[in-house]
Amino acid sequence: MVTREETQARMDIISAGMMKHTPEQTYTVADRLEEWAERTPDSPFLVWNDQSLSYGEVNARANRYAHFALAQGLRPGNVAALLMENRPEFLFIWFALAKIGCVSALINNQISGDALRHALSTTGSQRLFVGTECLGRLAPTPDIPETLVTYAIPDGQTRDIPASCTVLEQQLAAQPSTNPDRTLRDGVIGQSVLCLVFTSGTTGLPKAAKVTQARWLGVGEGWRAFLGLGQDDVFYCVLPLYHVAALMSLLSNAMASGGSVLLRPRFSASRFWQDVRQYGVTVAQYSGELCRYLYNQPPRPDDRDHKLKVMTGSGLSPAIWQAFQDRFGVTQMIEGYGGTELNVGMMNIDNRIGSCGRIPFRDRSNARLVKYDRDNDCHLRNPDGTLIECGTNEVGEMLGMILNLPGITGGRFDGYTDPEATEKKILRNVFQPGDAWMRTGDLFRRDEDDYYYFVDRVGDTFRWKSENVSTSEVTNALDSQPGLETITVYGVAIPGQEGRAGMVTVVMQPGHQLDPAGFYRLAQNTLPSYAIPVFVRVKADADITATFKLRKVDLQKLGYAPVAGDELYVADAAAGCYVPLTEENLSRLGIPPQPKT
């Protein structure tokens, strides 16, 4: 058993590293890149398709984009959107914008239509850099490149590029490779916004959360110190760069240590260990079911023949945790909890199976767990209106006290581009008059040793395939289905799976029937793949409360269990349609039946 003092001592190493970066500092992410490029210009930084780019080369490529952006009229403080799959150009542009004091808005490369329009609008983007592999995302909204200056970055494939897009090839090659004038960043400090990253939160459409310079740098500094990382370490990046998991948690670690990054377009279970062995990967990330996909690969004699020493992430299933370590010999699996905009976080540095972290001493943390009524979607309160802290093994919502202390980045809530959305995230007078706390929207329980365990999300968002799915976004995308009377979107548990799978319950107008194939096509054309509902229930009539709200809680509890009179369907991605939910189809799709209650 690890003592509380031992856990705290290890956490203090991370905290000390993070605190090296302050809200007031003038040192920026761009300075870090230029520093490494000057100090060790020939050291490998980025490996892509067997090509190794040094820190000096990455810096030079980023400089060309920076000079191009300046020539196109971008100035410090402007926002430019970046819509691209994982590839080196993503990072070149991201660094370039940071070098000239601009803010990058990182767009989920799986969205299109109104969701894309919303993303560009809510970030106030003045330019759009789009990889040609993502041009299809613009097809439903051809007016975007006509009204927003758009630059297309070729990916080496022959593609049709709209005439309204400027193709970056010759113009880029003509730009200088020298660092842009450092005075362009004179007004940039640690508290300045580095980039905007979308998060679903707990309600409504995805929100653009602010990531600051100091926070990005501090994450890398803390983990470098704790893990003892150095220039010989190789970091494996397979998660999307538009998420903070890859762009901040992994990239900042690599740049703090001066190590190199093996970049892949996406995760491949069959290729993972081959890459790890071939390139000498020492640090990797996981998210959601990634480790399960690896574990489900056929065993090999060389499963433990690698240099991978640590994997960090979230969503590792307790069912395979120990077995994964035993089979592959990864000594450190660091399950954590955090979020793009959250001002509170945890990490399981003691390898307590199933836990996402420990708070060994309550007075050393700004996190509190408060009682929450999941049926009525509200907090429980004392007679004086204050919230009630949870006891051991009680489920409640995690809150983070908002701190704004000089010289300290931790505890700050930087919020969203939408001030109203920011304010909605804050609870005031929680324990005493005048205090302010951030709602995480996440439910936890803690054991007698103060290890915390994730339970669920609250509100109108659920997590599936390592992504937060907004029920509002899914509802808005699907409510154009002909003949719909009502539509309710929610998440349901599948035995043995992390998170919750999307499910939609619909009631059809009199005289109309649901077209399962057409409904799937609508979902496929309007939603990212992870947000397409796995299950569909068609009811004869809606179950409405006295306040005219759909009984979503009851539907969640019911899951995908059959009910007399209801039609049930399950998504068959290979067939491109919804098929009847039968035992045979569930078995064929690898989905266990709904447990009986």
| Cβ atoms of 208 and 196 closer than 8 Å | yes
* Size of the chain, expressed as the number of residues it contains: 597
203: its two tokens? 């309600």
358-457: which CATH number, 2.60.120.10, 2.30.38.10, 2.30.110.10, 3.90.190.10?
Answer: 2.30.38.10
CA atoms within 13 A on the CB side of 368: 18
Instruction: Using alpha carbons, list the distances in angstroms from residue 45 to 58, 181, 257, 261, 262.
Output: 8, 23, 11, 6, 8
Which pLDDT belongs to residue 388? 98
The residue written with tokens 């979020």 in the block is 339
**Amino acid making up residue 462:** F
259: its two tokens? 């190590």
The percent of the chain in helix, strand and coil, each rounded to the nearest 5, is 30, 25, 45
CA atoms of 9 and 141, how far apart (whole Å): 53
CA atoms of 289 and 347, how far apart (whole Å): 18
Q: What is the 3-state secondary structure (H, E, C) of 529-585?
A: HHHCCCEEEEECCCCECCCCCECHHHHHHHCCCCCCCCEEEEEECCCCEEEECCHHH
For residue 469, give the H/E element and its range.
Answer: strand 467-470
| Cβ atoms of 526 and 477 closer than 8 Å | yes
| Cβ atoms of 411 and 400 closer than 8 Å | yes
Which pLDDT belongs to residue 544? 53
Of the candidates 440, 471, 438, which has an alpha carbon nearest to the alpha carbon of residue 456? Answer: 440
The angle subtended at Cα 166 by Cα 163 and Cα 169, nearest 5°, is: 125
Q: Residue ranges per domain, the chain?
A: 26-188, 358-457, 461-588
Is the entire prediction scored with pTM above 0.95? Answer: no
210: its two tokens? 């602010």
Contacts of 238 (CB under 8 A, 6+ apart): 86, 246, 264, 266, 267, 268, 272, 284, 285
CA atoms of 145 and 319, how far apart (whole Å): 47
| Cβ atoms of 357 and 452 closer than 8 Å | yes
Contacts of 144 (CB under 8 A, 6+ apart): 116, 117, 120, 128, 138, 150
Phi/psi at 29 (nearest 5 deg)?
A: -60, -40
User: 26-188 — its CATH code?
Assistant: 3.40.50.980
DSSP letter assigned to residue 312: E
Which pLDDT belongs to residue 545? 44
Strand partners, 507: 486, 539
591: its two tokens? 């989905």
Which pLDDT belongs to residue 26? 98
- The tens-digit pLDDT sequence of the chain (597 residues) is 899 999 999 999 999 999 999 999 999 999 999 999 999 999 999 999 989 999 999 999 999 999 999 999 999 999 999 999 999 999 999 999 999 999 999 999 989 998 899 999 999 999 999 999 999 999 999 999 999 999 999 999 999 999 999 999 888 989 999 999 999 999 999 999 999 999 865 556 789 999 999 999 999 999 999 999 999 999 999 999 999 999 999 999 999 999 999 999 999 999 999 999 999 999 999 987 788 889 888 999 999 999 999 999 988 888 789 999 999 999 999 999 998 999 999 999 999 999 999 999 999 999 999 999 876 779 999 999 999 999 999 989 999 999 999 999 999 999 999 999 999 999 999 999 999 999 999 999 999 999 999 887 787 778 888 787 878 778 878 988 988 878 889 999 999 888 899 999 998 888 999 999 999 999 999 899 999 999 999 998 766 543 334 567 788 889 999 999 999 999 999 999 999 999 999 999 999 998 876
| Cβ atoms of 536 and 569 closer than 8 Å | yes
CA atoms of 286 and 249, how far apart (whole Å): 11
Which pLDDT belongs to residue 549? 45
CA atoms of 335 and 251, how far apart (whole Å): 18
| Cβ atoms of 354 and 318 closer than 8 Å | yes
The CATH superfamily label for domain 461-588 reads ANL, C-terminal domain (3.30.300.30)
CA atoms of 494 and 543, how far apart (whole Å): 23
CA atoms of 46 and 259, how far apart (whole Å): 9
